Structure 1
Amino acid sequence: MNYTLRQLRVFLAVAAHGSFSRAADAVGLTQPAVSRGVQELEEALGVRLLDRTTREVVLTDAGMALVPALERLLGQLDDTLEETRQLGERYRGRVVIASAPTISARLMPMYVAACAHEYPEIRLFIRDNVQADGLEQIRAGAVDFGVLIDPMARDGLTIADLATDPFCFVCRRDHPLAGAETVPWSALHGERLALLDFASGSRPLIDRILARHGVTPHVVQELGHSASVFGMVEAGIGASVLPSFSLPLPAASPLVSRPLVPREERSIVMVRREDRSLSPAAAAVWNMIQNLPIPAEAMAA
């Protein structure tokens, strides 16, 4: 028996509307196409389903018997196909994101929580590494994408802006600049500074900003993590310039932070390989992060 799903739906439309022309409008076909579809179905079944007159279309006994069974079966088919479609839209799998330490502390908990709520079948993992390692993992395909500081070398990468993060001055409370509401960059000329090292995405930016303001500090220590910098500053070895995402300062420490003026900031971006498509799950997380508003408290220094 040779019949098509379209022929069955056309027959039900004619039965429901009692007219070939009205059925044609309902299913978006021409009247000859509807008439031909019903005729082909009748030939395949070997039985007449409709009696046609010049004024009306009437179901035969066979047609009347077929309609309720066909409605039930096609309804079940539609339900099954809809369930299958929804299943295909459920994102699942493993997504790995490279993230710099300060971003991991300030933004990634929010993104992980949002992903767990919106896509419970996606397992989201964070690779918490310095900027240089994060970029290497992205280029090697070891992670799906990264949330990092805007890299200076963008070749082969797709970049999407996410947030900005201003730099601040960190010192002990007994430092001469601790009492100022803001600290000008020019005041750092000759200042003893403990800074992040060049594996950090912030250090090249800091050096460029200092040079742009004509400032040459005395760099006494270069360290991999903000926590290590805080320890050096607390010990009196020097002050520091850090991104605001490094805050808050350690509890009960003798340290203070002050905004640097004029405001200079780093850009937080999403980064992925230009020549590699994201999996459906990774694409869903990428879009979620890009569209998720960042609360003011996450940005507060």
Structure 2
Amino acid sequence: MNVTLRQLHVFQSVATTRNFSRTGDAVGLTQPAVSRSITELEGQLGLQLLNRTTREVTLTAAGQRLAARLPRVLEELESTLQDVQDMATERRGRVRVASSPTLSANLLPDCIAQAQVRLPGLELVLLDRMQSAVLASVLSGEVDFGVVIDPGERDALHCESILTEPFCLACLPGHRLARKRQVRWSDLQGEPLVLLDHDSGSRRLIDRALAEHGVAHTVAQEVGHPTTIFRMLDAGLGISVIPTLALPPEGLARLAVRPLVPRVDREVMLVHRRNRALSPIAQAAWDLVKAVAAQRTGAG
């Protein structure tokens, strides 16, 4: 059965007015279009709903039964459709976001703070995880979206780049490389490196840059969080290549930080499952994270 909402509205009006002309004026149709709509409805139902003469329009028994129930049905349907439509502007609810440690520490706090001001009905819940776990939680549907370093493999993901940032060198102030204003990748030759482990989205990019510049090196330690790297550098265990966002806003008082040249960037991305649309409130959170990242880029 292929009954349309317009056909039902037309019938309801005819049942009320008992006049095709007045119904046409009420619903914005010509009299022939009203008649055609009623005929099509009757054809779909397989029943005559109206008795038509040149002098009057009356309801058949089937028409009376439909007319008695139709207002409640249409009211319920229109209320349901309005509720669904209101979701387009809904700005209340919980959004779960997974993020890797450097982004959780240095980008997401600003996002959560701005959400409280700009979207007070949004509860932004952060899951702080290593990148491999972030991607797993996105693909499983545990979270609405993730904030990650370019994952490389994107077949199952919708990705949007929001920020690029360079890698830099961190070392003790007395180290030979701290005397340079900028450090070439080749200058790292032979140095013991303390690096983020392979669960980090950055490690793949660091290893590729070292290989491209032919840097022979030893990995003194592999750790999961930049804060651990800084403590190991303090202890004299080596030097490190770190993303700029890993640096605390107040800087590193006991370490020297130098730009690495030629510049190698990592790309920060928002990701969600491909072919799975975000809810309106999750889309609002996605857009807010983009806006905060854009502010950071502009400030830099």
- TM-score (norm: length of structure 1): 0.71
The answer to whether residue 191 in structure 2 is matched with residue 186 in structure 1 is no
Equivalences for residues 96-175 of structure 1 within 5 A: 96-175=96-175
1:292–1:178 Cα change, 3 Å: closer
Structure 1 distance, partners of 2:165, 2:186, is 20
Give, in angstroms, the shift of residue 153 of structure 1: 2.2
AA of the residue aligned to 1:125: V
Deviations 1:160-203 (A, max 9, x none): 11111110000111011112111000100111111111111111
Deviations 1:104-162 (A, max 9, x none): 12211222233333332221101111111111211222111100001122231111111
Q: Percent identity?
A: 43
Indicate the residue corresponding to 2:39 in structure 1.
Answer: none
Indicate the residue corresponding to 1:73 in structure 2.
Answer: none
Indicate the residue corresponding to 1:208 in structure 2.
Answer: 208
Give, in angstroms, the shift of residue 281 of structure 1: 2.0
- TM-score (norm: length of structure 2): 0.71
Deviations 1:15-43 (A, max 9, x none): xxxxx9xx89xx86559779x9xxx9x97
Question: Conserved in 1, the CA contact under 8 Å of 2:184 and 2:261?
Answer: yes
Give, in angstroms, the shift of residue 269 of structure 1: 0.4
Question: Conserved in 1, the CA contact under 8 Å of 2:170 and 2:255?
Answer: yes
Question: Conserved in 1, the CA contact under 8 Å of 2:146 and 2:271?
Answer: yes
Partner of 1:286, secondary structure, is: helix
Partner of 2:96, secondary structure, is: strand
Indicate the residue corresponding to 2:6 in structure 1.
Answer: none
Give, in angstroms, the shift of residue 87 of structure 1: 4.7
Partner of 2:178, secondary structure, is: coil
Structure 2 distance, partners of 1:5, 1:187, is 84
Partner of 1:152, secondary structure, is: coil
Partner of 1:139, secondary structure, is: helix
1:28–1:182 Cα change, 3 Å: farther
Structure 1 distance, partners of 2:119, 2:270, is 19
Structure 2 distance, partners of 1:183, 1:189, is 11
Give, in angstroms, the shift of residue 220 of structure 1: 0.7
Question: Conserved in 1, the CA contact under 8 Å of 2:148 and 2:269?
Answer: yes
Structure 2 distance, partners of 1:28, 1:144, is 43
Q: Structure 1: 5+ residue runs without aligned partners?
A: 15-19, 45-79
1:134–1:7 Cα change, 3 Å: same
